[in-house]
Amino acid sequence: MKRRSLLPPLRAMVSVTILRPPREDMPRGLRMILQVPRDTFIMILVVARLTTAAHADDALVSTTPAAPPRPQPVQATDAPASEHFDPTLTSSVLHASLSFLLPRTLDSHTVRDFSLWGLNGLSAIDPSLTVEEQHDMLHLSVAQHTVLALATPAADDLAGWTDVITRMMQTAWDRSSDMRATGQDGMLQGFFDELFNHLDPYSRYVAPDAAVSDRGIRTGGTASAGLTLGLDHHAIIITAVNANGPSWPTALSAGQVIYAINGRSTQDRTVEEVSAWLQGPPGSLVRLLVAAPGRRRMTVSVRRESVPPETVFAYTSGHHVVLHITAFSANTAEEMSQYLDEAMSIAHLSGLILDLRGNRGGVLQQAVTTSALMLDHGVAAITQGRDPQANHVWAVQGGDMTNGLPIVILVDGRTASAAEILAAALADQKRAVVVGSATLGKGLVQTIGQMPNGAELFVTWSRVLAPLGWPLQGLGVMPQICSSLGEASLERQLQDLAEGNAESATWVWASRQARYPMEVSRTLAIRKSCPAAIGTDNDLDAAHSLLDNPEEYRAALATIPEDHAIPPAHAE
């Protein structure tokens, strides 16, 4: 099997919101309808572009109700941060962020809560500064001497608290050299770091420069030719061609030597230098002088595009195909569709292995869409939050591209988030057997708000439940075959499965009966049955054994209880 699909990219088939009827020319695995309440858009990672406050990005959540009017964004000054404090921009960011947080956090809090938590961030930057509330007055003190006293606004007075925070930041800036050295971005960072310390581990504030980089990663990064380069005997060579990139349909291929780019010789240049030459504005032309070993040199022209990094890599192993998914980015489901289509043309194929070890997650919607490629129908995930738009049952319907081919999923203690969603969806629907150890247990979903200064807020707004109703957060996915108990235990488990017994039935059943909220002691007791660990070659060996021995595979599938045998999921 080639490392990359021969099929052209299917860019139009991975929409963030798939609510319209499927097209007849769409591959079966992507003919899916996500069932939700009428007039509600499905969303997992909502990118809200707050040009004023909490207006949603039109491309992703166009049905989000309009937010109330907010202060217009103000461009930051070009002056160094240490020389200037911009109260108008600061006020705009604070107003936008607080209004974004209020309806979305998992638990309800007031503007007062957020504000007082955040103001403690001033002390984190300069310990001589303190903010205290006394007799309905807020006091900002320097070395225990009050320098500003303001009336405490009502608990939900957004404008009042925005003004108070801004004035206290301005005064702190004027009085503290540490504040000026930190800069305006640093002050805001400190405010939000302290605020989010009171919420969950995943909600956070990302400063403007880092936010630009993060957005580039989520949406495809800088424009490039979509090539990976390497060094071979002092020659710059192409080591990989991104199947989703502009070079894929050209004559460029792995193994070719690059002699020049846009007329600049690559001789004595580093891989990093030459890779940088391939980057440029979207749509710009880059000319490569290349040659395969023993062939004549030729010039190939490519128009640069923003290309999401490849996240799926495949190879054949006997009668099985191993699909290693490293993350879930904007094109992961599309890549999987291509690989699955190609895999199904392989003669005598008897099973698939999805390797999710080390996969830290990514765009959750991509995990749902990927599950649809291997499910005829059924629920893939449930999200529950305080905001009505966070509550969804993600159901897939359309067609299994693999025609029911046996699937084994490899996980380990680093498998998290969207990767856990995919593993839980296929396991609960009895479409796959999970091998490995307890996964990380990251089952919280963040929505992203873009601030007027270009920063971003990641705010946890929903919990994820598996199809059978158990919570991923804290518990993680418990495998049907545990490899973290040692090689002898793994061999015994496989032998028991061959005889129709499953040692894992106890912990699998216990995990599927779990319901939110769970006591920590119960969560730890279940996870102790198959402790989280880093994956080894034993995982892959066990996967091959399961696929080569149908009786083992069937016995492992049978450890998942039927839907009617477990308690219903609790609503928020």
pLDDT in tens, 488-536: 999 999 999 999 999 999 999 999 999 999 999 999 999 999 999 999 9
Q: Indicate which CATH number applies to the domain containing 558.
A: 3.90.226.10
pLDDT in tens, 466-480: 999 999 999 999 999
Cα 355 from Cα 458, distance rounded (Å): 28
Predicted confidence at residue 205, as pLDDT, reads 95
pLDDT digits (tens, 9 = 90+) for 67-78: 333 333 334 333
5: confidence class by pLDDT, cuts 50, 70, 90: very low
534 and 427 part of one domain: yes
- Residue 493 domain-assigned (yes or no): yes
User: What is the per-residue pLDDT for 218?
Assistant: 60
Nearest to 454 by CA among 83, 80, 89, 46: 89
Q: Which residues contact 390 (CB under 8 A, 6 or more apart)?
A: 104, 383, 384, 445, 447, 461, 462
CA atoms within 13 A on the CB side of 555: 19
Kindly give, in sequence order, each residue whose CB lies less than 8 Å from that of residue 452, ignoring residues fewer than 6 positions away.
50, 51, 52, 71, 72, 73, 74, 89, 92, 93, 96
Segment 86-95 shows an average pLDDT of 97
Query: Are both 234 and 366 inside the same structural domain?
Result: no
Give per-residue pLDDT as tens, 320-336.
999 999 999 888 999 99
**Which of 41-45, 198-202, 423-427 has the lowest average pLDDT?**
41-45
Supply 11's token pair.
């860019």
422 and 505: one domain? yes
Q: Half-sphere exposure of 137 toward its Cβ, with a 13 Å CA cutoff?
A: 10
Q: Are strands 407-411 and 47-49 parallel, antiparallel or unpaired?
A: unpaired
Give the pLDDT score at 211. 84
Query: Is 28 within the bounds of a domain?
Result: no
The residue whose two tokens read 């190879």 is 315
For residue 154, give its domain range. 61-203
Whether residues 296 and 340 share a domain: the answer is no
pLDDT of residue 15: 27
Model pLDDT, residue 220: 54
Q: How confident is the model at residue 223 (pLDDT cuts 50, 70, 90)?
A: confident
Has residue 45 been placed in a domain? no
Number of domains observed in the structure of the chain: 3
**Above 70 in pLDDT, residue 32?**
no
Judge if 298 and 316 occupy the same domain. no
pLDDT tens-digit profile of 242-260? 877 899 999 999 999 999 9
Domain boundary among 284, 303, 322: 303
CATH number at residue 232: 2.30.42.10
- Could you tell me if 508 and 425 lie in one domain? yes
pLDDT for residue 22: 34
Whether residues 272 and 347 share a domain: the answer is no
* Residues 194 and 338 reside in one and the same domain: no
Query: Does the residue 211 lie in any domain?
Result: no
pLDDT of residue 569: 60
The reply to whether 391 falls in a domain is: yes
Question: DSSP alpha helices (H): ranges in 204-356?
Answer: 208-219, 271-277, 332-343
Q: How many residues does the chain have?
A: 572
- State how far the Cα of 148 lies from the Cα of 175, in Å rounded to an integer: 11
What pLDDT, on the 0 to 100 scale, is given for residue 44?
29
Does residue 23 sit within a domain? no
Instruction: Point out the domain boundary residue: 269, 303, 337.
Output: 303
Verify that 417 and 352 share a domain, yes or no.
yes
Is residue 119 in a domain? yes
Q: What's the N-to-C CA distance of the chain in angstroms?
A: 46
Same domain, 336 and 473: yes
Q: pLDDT band for position 46 (50/70/90)?
A: very low
pLDDT digits (tens, 9 = 90+) for 147-193: 999 999 999 999 999 999 999 999 999 999 999 999 999 999 999 99
Q: Residue 179 is which amino acid? A: M
Cα three-residue angle 61-64-65, rounded to 5 degrees = 160
> Does 2 score more than 80 pLDDT?
no
User: Interhelix angle for 550-557 vs 537-548, to 10°?
Assistant: 100
Whether the CB-CB separation of 239 and 485 falls below 8 Å is answered with no
**pLDDT for position 60:** 23
Claim to verify: residue 317 and residue 291 sit in the same structural domain: no
Weakest mean pLDDT among 59-73, 292-306, 382-396, 542-556: 59-73
- Mean pLDDT, the chain, rounded, equals 85
pLDDT of residue 221: 56
Share of the chain above pLDDT 90, in %: 75
Residue 65 has pLDDT above 50, yes or no: no
pLDDT of residue 142 exceeding 60, the answer is: yes
Among 187, 203, 219, the domain-final residue is: 203
Whether the predicted pLDDT of 102 surpasses 90: yes
19 within some domain: no
For the whole model, what pTM was predicted? 0.77
Q: Is 406 in the same domain as 335? A: yes
Q: Residue 364's pLDDT band (boundaries 50, 70, 90)?
A: confident
- On the question of pLDDT at 24 being above 50, the answer is no
